[in-house]
Amino acid sequence: MTRVRFAPSPTGRLHVGNARAAILNWLFAHQTGGSFLLRLDDTDRARSTVEFAQGIEADLAWLGLTHDAFARQSDRFPIYAAAAERLKAAGRLYPAYETPEELDRRRARQRARGLPPIYDRAALKLTGDERARLEAEGRTPHWRFKLNGAPVRWTDLIRGPVEIDTATLSDPVLIREDGAFLYTLPSVVDDADLAISHVIRGEDHVVNTAAQIEIFQALGAAVPEFAHYPMILDVDGGPLSKRLGSLGLADLAGQDIDPMALNSLMAKIGTSDPVEPRRTLAELAAEFAFSKIGHAPARLDPEDLRRLTVKLLHMKPYDEVAAAVPGGEAFWLAIRDNLESLDDAAGWWRAVSEPLEPLAADPAVLAAAAALLPSGDLGEAAWGPWTKAVSAATGKKGRELFLPLRLALTGRDHGPEMKKLLPFIGRERALARLGGQRA
């Protein structure tokens, strides 16, 4: 069964960049009838907080991304320790004693000689006595995973065939001097232990994947399938990271962005599908396919979130907005295509139902309109014959005819179709407004 995971670190709230990972994983899981695991990668005890963890869950709930299972890495340290011991016993995890300053100097020398700044495995050449001497000096080792130094190949579900030669990489540090696990080992152990079938993440992890595949193999674990999607740039082609402060999910919710606007944008941006809104995650899941995701970075314009939010507003049925919309369903259907926000609905109700000060308009047009106003109730069908008669009486057409009527009847120079508003204004108010009186 398909089983995917979204694994944020609770060192901050979610932003659009990591929300995309959550959305793509959720859509793939639900399209394939699989499960979606939320895993909090909270091994960084100094920066991870309960408040951020709760905030991440609130952000996912706002998007509607429910999880089928949950894990917290801070609960799983014994499992990582056991895996580390297995790697040590197999000769794949070895102690290294260099300080950060020593490593920096070594890399500088390599660059000066035109060599790639990769770790030279000097620690593997230490004798037992040399290690004992370093530890007697107070040095505590960090632990590196010994790569095979051979090409690692996999077929990426987005990028196609990928090959990374691990001879060009430094042996990754899996455990720090203080005994803390870095990202790589817990992630691999969790993916294996929790039966993750597919790892879907950004292309900035492609090189990491080669090392992780070797760790899976060293632990005798099944290697999941991988899909690495391109990164998102800002509208100017620069790194999106510079703008993430304004693109946090909590901030977007505070700006009344519709969560389905963000879901739709993250599902469609950089794909062969047009970036248009969908009302439900089920619709997005049905349309999801790795083959649609392009290889080039996508550019994100924050204004697209506002555009999609407005489009979604225009698609909402009355029962979803009834609490905020006076006038009933017929009024909602009359005005929704012209709204920029849901708050505008109350303003339009006041425009058709409460006293207003009509704006200055052509007196001749208003006088003719008042004289020719049909008797009885005014339905939508009344607008066409009425305005045709006013046009014949005044010789006015187009904007010269319709703008004075709109200004007088609504106090605004734009808005929903007047034929749809006229029944809510009613004959009595319409007649008073055409006469320049308050009504």
Q: What pLDDT is stored for residue 235 in this prediction?
A: 86
Domain 328-434: give its CATH code: 1.10.10.350
The whole-number pLDDT of residue 353 equals 95
* DSSP bridge pairs for 94: 144
Q: What was the pLDDT predicted at 234?
A: 87
User: Average of pLDDT values for 298-327?
Assistant: 96
Mean of per-residue pLDDT scores for the chain? 94
Residue 58 pLDDT more than 60? yes
Taking the CA atoms of residue 266, residue 267, residue 271 and residue 275 in that order, the dihedral angle to the nearest 10 degrees is: -80
Task: Look at residue 425 in the predicted model and tell me its pLDDT.
Answer: 96
Q: Where are the beta strands (DSSP E) in 135-258?
A: 142-145, 151-156, 160-165, 173-175, 198-202, 225-229, 232-234
What is the pLDDT at residue 439?
A: 42
The pLDDT, as a whole number, for residue 244 is: 59
Q: What is the mean pLDDT of residues 188-209?
A: 97
Residue 240 has pLDDT above 90, yes or no: no
Which of 139-153, 197-211, 349-363 shows the lowest per-residue confidence on average (mean pLDDT)? 349-363
Q: What is the pLDDT of residues 383-415, one digit of tens each?
A: 999 999 999 999 999 999 999 999 999 999 999
Q: Indicate the pLDDT class of residue 237, thresholds 50, 70 and 90.
A: confident
Crossing angle of the two packed helices 303-315 and 259-268, in degrees rounded to 10: 120
What was the pLDDT predicted at 247? 87
Phi–psi pair at 27, nearest 5 degrees: -65, -45
- pLDDT confidence of residue 361: 83
Using CB atoms within 10 A of its CB, is residue 343 exposed (0-12), middle (13-18) or buried (19+)? exposed
Can you say whether the dihedral through the CA atoms of 187, 192, 193, 196 is positive or negative?
positive
Quote the pLDDT of residue 360.
Answer: 81
pLDDT band at residue 246 using 50, 70 and 90 as cut-offs = low
User: Residue 321: exposed, middle, or buried by beta-carbon count in 10 A (0-12, 13-18, 19+)?
Assistant: middle
Evaluate if residue 129 carries a pLDDT over 70.
yes
- Model confidence band, residue 359 (pLDDT cutoffs 50, 70, 90): confident
Tokens of 406: 């709109």
